[in-house]
Amino acid sequence: MRIRFLGIFFLFLTKLALAQSKFPQESTADSVRYYLEEADQSIFNDFQVAKEKLIKARNFVEKTADVNLKAEVVRKLAIAYYVKGEYYHSLSYFLDAEDLFRKAENWEGVGKSLNGLGLIQQGIERHSEAIEYFEQARDYYNLSKDEYAATPAIINLGISELQSGDLENAKTTLDNALSMAVASGRKDIEHLTLNHLGNLAYEKDQLPQALAYFERVLQDSVEPNNWEKAFSFYGLAKVNLAFHNLDEAEEYGLKALDFANTNDSFFEKERITGVLFNIYEAKGELENAVVISKQNRIYRDSLYYQNRVRAIDLLNLEKKEADNRRLRNEKMEKEKELSKNKLIIAVLLALGFILILILFFWIKNYHQKERFRKALEEKNKLIIHKNGVITERNKELAKINKSKDRLFSILSHDLKSPIGSIQKLLELIKTGEFTQLEQAELLDEMLKQVSATSSMLQNLLQWANSQLEGS
């Protein structure tokens, strides 16, 4: 009894130890997800806060064996640095995230990483390279079960087409992205797409449509982030300047500049101060125009310097990125070839299965026909045998009929005279012309006739019977 109790006690301790070892893993993963969600709240608006949350998430994720979770933390860091404009760090993190997602065979994650790499190329206006990345990202996104997963890659593809001057293809791509964003409930992508559709309409001198797109972003029930607000107000400033609504244009331009300052983006500040300069110049406010012109020059110089630094930093990663692109293309080709081979094998297996089914049913049909043929032969033999028996019986019946006819012919011939004599005797007796003595003599004669007739009938029946048996 004591040994049994000790066994149960040690089993309980073992299970408790396993539960405790599993609990920290789950608790750590929950902590990582918590900090990722916290970082998402500020990743587009406050780099320092987002970075702080992501570093905490990275510290926790190192304690887990979840490769997908590690890759997601690295990808979020890449996004934070991209939004900040530090493309060198962003590119490095996106490459690391892509590598981790590939190890985990998370193709949607690979698509997200490629999409980020395309955004960096787009940010330094290398749109041909960006389009290549976005197309690859779209292909990987499409490997996931989510039919709308490729929406981010499609919107970014449309933006690069727009920046390349391919307005018609850009319109088609952006319309497609907008439909997917609305269907999937991705408001962030919907706002981004609407802003770029507004910019496209402005480039095509379709000012009312451009105005409607920008206003749709700002009037949405879901508040857009600061980047999209800055873009929308900048777009409204440009459109109202084109309509010569200078006061409204100035108001929208200043609002755009406020959000650009919050985002701390030299790119936004440079283009917004540029349109504000045009507004003040059109209003004749030369003093404001000079002030804003100086700001624009500062931002333009800072942007130029920033782009130079980015270019130098990116050159340092160019070889690594080129090697990754080469390896990526090789992997994609191998994956396509593998998919093609899998498809061929699947088709061959399907054809083989169909041929086996056809052969099975053909053999089954053949055996069934053979069984029917043999059964039919047996039935035909039986029918032939029965026909022979029936023929023999018909012949016997014919002989019997002939014997019967002969018998009746003999009976009718041999019985006719005796019966006729008996009939005449009876008629004579009936007349009463004979005496008792004569009647007695006639009766004796009649008895002789009847006896002779009976003896003759007996002989005929015996003869007929012998004839029937002989036949």
Angle between the 187-203 and 207-218 helix axes, to the nearest 10 degrees? Answer: 160
82-86, 129-133, 253-257: least confidently modelled range = 82-86
Domain boundary among 144, 176, 193: 144
* Position with higher pLDDT, 100 vs 402: 100
Q: How confident is the model at residue 382 (pLDDT cuts 50, 70, 90)?
A: confident
**Both tokens of residue 403?**
């014997």
The parent domain of residue 107 ranges over 22-144
Residue pair 470/396 in contact (Cβ under 8 Å)? The answer is no
Q: pLDDT of 408-447, one tens digit each?
A: 776 666 666 777 777 777 777 777 777 777 777 777 777 7
CATH no. for residue 462?
Answer: 1.10.287
Contact by Cβ (8 Å): 48, 80: no
- Tell whether the model's pLDDT for residue 227 goes beyond 80: yes
3-class DSSP state of 224: coil
**Which residue, chain included where needed, has tokens 């107000």?**
233
**Cα separation, 47 vs 263, whole angstroms:** 9
Average pLDDT of the chain?
82
Tell me the CA distances in angstroms from 349 to 336, 346, 356, one per residue in order.
Answer: 19, 5, 10
Rg (CA), the chain: 56
Q: What is the pLDDT of residue 202?
A: 94
Q: What is the pLDDT of residues 54-66, one digit of tens each?
A: 999 889 888 888 8
pLDDT of 337 reads: 72
Contacts of 191 (CB under 8 A, 6+ apart): 217, 220, 224, 225, 228, 232
C-alpha distances out from residue 298 to 123, 126, 269, Å? 20, 24, 10
CATH of the domain at 77: 1.25.40.10
Per-residue model confidence (pLDDT) at position 470: 58
Q: Name which residue leads in pLDDT, 400 or 236.
A: 236
Structure confidence at residue 336 (pLDDT): 65
Domain count of the fold of the chain: 2
Residue 84 has what pLDDT?
A: 82
Q: Flag whether 205 is in a domain.
A: no
Average pLDDT estimate for 41-46: 82
In-domain check, residue 282? no
Mean pLDDT value across residues 315-344: 66
Q: Give the containing element (helix H, strand E) for 379.
A: helix 286-431
Task: Indicate whether 284 pLDDT > 60.
Answer: yes
Whose tokens are 């029946």? That residue is 461
Q: Is 447 part of a structural domain of the chain? A: yes
Domain end position, chosen among 89, 120, 144: 144
Reply yes or no on whether the pLDDT at 276 is more than 90.
yes
Give residue 247's pLDDT.
94
Cα 54 vs. chain centroid, distance in angstroms?
36
pTM for this predicted structure: 0.58
Domain membership flag for residue 202: no
Residue 63 lies in a domain: yes
Q: Which of 144, 170, 197 is the last residue of a domain?
A: 144
Tens digit of each residue's pLDDT (9 = 90 or more) over 7-21:
554 454 455 444 444
More confident position, 335 or 351: 351
C-alpha span between 86 and 122 (Å, rounded): 14
Spatial distance between the Cα atoms of 92 and 446, rounded to a whole number of angstroms: 149
Q: Which of 100, 104, 101, 139 is nearest to 118 (CA)?
A: 139
Residue 114 and residue 324: Cα distance in Å, rounded? 11
Domain assignment of residue 98, yes or no: yes
Residue 316 lies in a domain: no
Q: Is residue 30 domain-resident? A: yes
Q: How much is the pLDDT for 94?
A: 92
Counted residue by residue, the chain has a size of 471
pLDDT value of residue 255: 94
Range with lowest mean pLDDT among 49-53, 329-333, 385-389: 329-333
**Whose structure tokens read 């997917």?**
180
Pick the range with the lowest mean pLDDT from 33-47, 232-246, 334-348.
Answer: 334-348
Confidence of residue 389 (pLDDT cuts 50, 70, 90): confident
* Greater model confidence, 267 or 240: 240
> pLDDT at position 346, please?
81
pLDDT, residue 109, reads: 93
